[in-house]
Structure formats: C-alpha cells, structure tokens
Amino acid sequence: MRQSFELAQKVDVAGIPFACMSLDEAAIAVLDSAASSESNGISVRLSNAYCVALANSDHAYGEVMRDPIGVNLPDGVPVAYVMRSRGRFDKPTSLLVRGPSLFARALELSQECDVAHFLFGTNESTLEALRARIEQLYPGARIAGSYAPGIVSLNEEFFRGVEQRIADSGAQLVWVALGTPKQDFVSSELARRLGLCFVGVGAAFDFLAGTVQEAPTVFHGSGFEWVYRLSREPRRLWRRYLFGNIEFVRAVLSVRRRNRKTN
C-alpha cells in the first residue's frame, strides 16, 4: 500500500507542522518518495522537543523546519503528547517515529523494492561497521554509496562536492547523520539540488553499527529514553535536554497564549 507525506494529517506544535503517521506508514512514504520519478525532492526531519525549541529561538532553523520541501515527524514523546492533545489519536506512541526505528524499518522494507541507499555522515570507521551490519541484517538492501565528510563548513564547495558524490552513486534515498541542526540544513539544500529523498536520522548510524549503545527497548516510547542517553553521554547532551525541554514547554505555552488572544 502506498503512502504519501502530502496526504498525511498535519498538527501544529509550537508553530511547527508535524505529520501524523505510524512508523510503518512513514517508512513506506519514505521509500515511495525515493522511488517516485515525479519527486521534486523531500527532506524528512525526525524532530524532537529540542528541535522545536531551537526552531523557536533560531530564525534560520525555524525557516528550515517550516520549509515546504520537507516534512517533520515526531521523534520524541513530548512532541507526540502535544500532537495528541490537538487531535483525535489513540495514544501518543502511535504517532512516535524514532529515527533509529525508521532507518531500520525502511532498510528492511527496501529489500522488496530495490531502492538504492546512500549513507552520509558520522565517520569512516562507523560507516564501515554500519555497512557490514546492514549486509548481515538486511542482505537485500542496496547500498549505493557512503561518505563521511568530517567537520566542514556548509559552503558552496561543500554542497557541490557532496552533490556530485551522491549523483554519481545513483542513490535514490539519502540517510543523513550529521546531528541536529546541521543535518536538517544540509538535507533541505541537497533535496532541492538533487530532487531526492533525504532523511536526517542523527545517531541511528551509531546505534545500528553498534558503536554507541542504544537505549533498551523498554525505554522506547516511555518518555524517558532521554534519561538513558543523558547517562551515557552527559557532557555532550546535558545542555540539550535541560534547556531544550524547558524551552519546548515555553514555546508550546507561548503559541497557545497567542492563539487564544487571536481567536
């Protein structure tokens, strides 16, 4: 059954539109977008509370999150809870689309539709481990190419070089693991240039490759997965979770107050 991001119901979360889809619906929509000859390019953003908070404090990132070439999917329970409060859905976890889960599910389903994947981000050792893991778990998934750019500036030279690599590979679907917000800026720009489907998946490469320990399944959809990740990488993540969650609540309440005044 085909799925379309354009036809999915949209729910506003603090001024950012999110598509309402299950994990399977999102995976199928990603593969359909990648395989479609009529696609003008799409950037799929797996966005959590930190992303929403950042979009409300950083004008440039807010423009990316509202860019019509892309679609936002809720990769975080707080976002899913707000979505549920704005619509008629069974439970928040039915709306949750975790980046690592979407990556794995799309790889699995792509074994039946021969979509060519490109792995873009992280580092060469992780990409090597990731390709070996994909070959082991999803032997029918076709990996057209991979590239780890390292620490670079997002200038024209960078975009032209990456654009050429992806075009030469013949890939239809590009997975981007550069971290937030960089991966979303990159995905939107390259989706326009190449007319392909780009999906920003953050730490999904590291999790599947086994270079970073993923939270146990019991944490998935519980609203406490961030606690596990924070315990594993406190120096890198403490600011994101502490200030990001506070700013997310502020942004949601601020938009609600504005809407009440105008209604």
Task: Give the C-alpha separation, 190 to 238, whole Å.
Answer: 31
The pLDDT of residue 205:
97
pLDDT, tens digit, 9 for 90 and up, residues 173-182: 999 999 989 9
Task: Give the C-alpha separation, 14 to 245, whole Å.
Answer: 13
pLDDT at 15 over 70: yes
Give the dihedral of Cα atoms 148, 29, 89, 246; nearest 10 deg: 20
pLDDT at 172 over 60: yes
Q: DSSP per residue over the chain, as a string? A: ----TTTS-EEEETTEEEE---HHHHHHHHHHHHH-TT---EEEEEE-HHHHHHHHH-HHHHHHHT-TTEEEEE-SHHHHHHHHHHS--S-GGGT---HHHHHHHHHHHHTTTTPEEEEEES-HHHHHHHHHHHHHH-TT-EEEEEE---S---SHHHHHHHHHHHHHHT-SEEEEES-TTHHHHHHHHHHHHH--EEEE-TTHHHHHHTSSPPPPGGGTTTT-HHHHHHHHSHHHHHHHHHHHHHHHHHHHHHHHHHHHHH-
The DSSP bridge pattern shows strands 16-19 and 10-13 to be antiparallel
Helix axes 234-262, 77-86, angle to 10 degrees: 10
Helix axes 124-137, 99-110, angle to 10 degrees: 50
pTM: 0.86
pLDDT, tens digit, 9 for 90 and up, residues 236-246: 655 666 666 77
Average pLDDT over residues 36-58: 89
The pLDDT of residue 241:
60
The CA–CA distances, whole Å, from 68 to 20, 75, 191 equal: 16, 19, 12
pLDDT at 222 over 60: no
Confidence of residue 26 (pLDDT cuts 50, 70, 90): very high
Of residues 260 and 69, the one with the higher pLDDT is 69
The CA–CA distances, whole Å, from 103 to 117, 151, 192, 206, 248 equal: 11, 23, 22, 12, 25
The pLDDT of residue 1:
46
pLDDT, tens digit, 9 for 90 and up, residues 58-110: 999 999 999 999 999 999 888 988 888 776 555 555 678 999 999 999 999 99
Q: Which residues pair with 17 in a beta bridge?
A: 12
What would the 3-class secondary structure string for 105-149 be? HHHHHHCCCCCEEEEEECCHHHHHHHHHHHHHHCCCCEEEEEECC
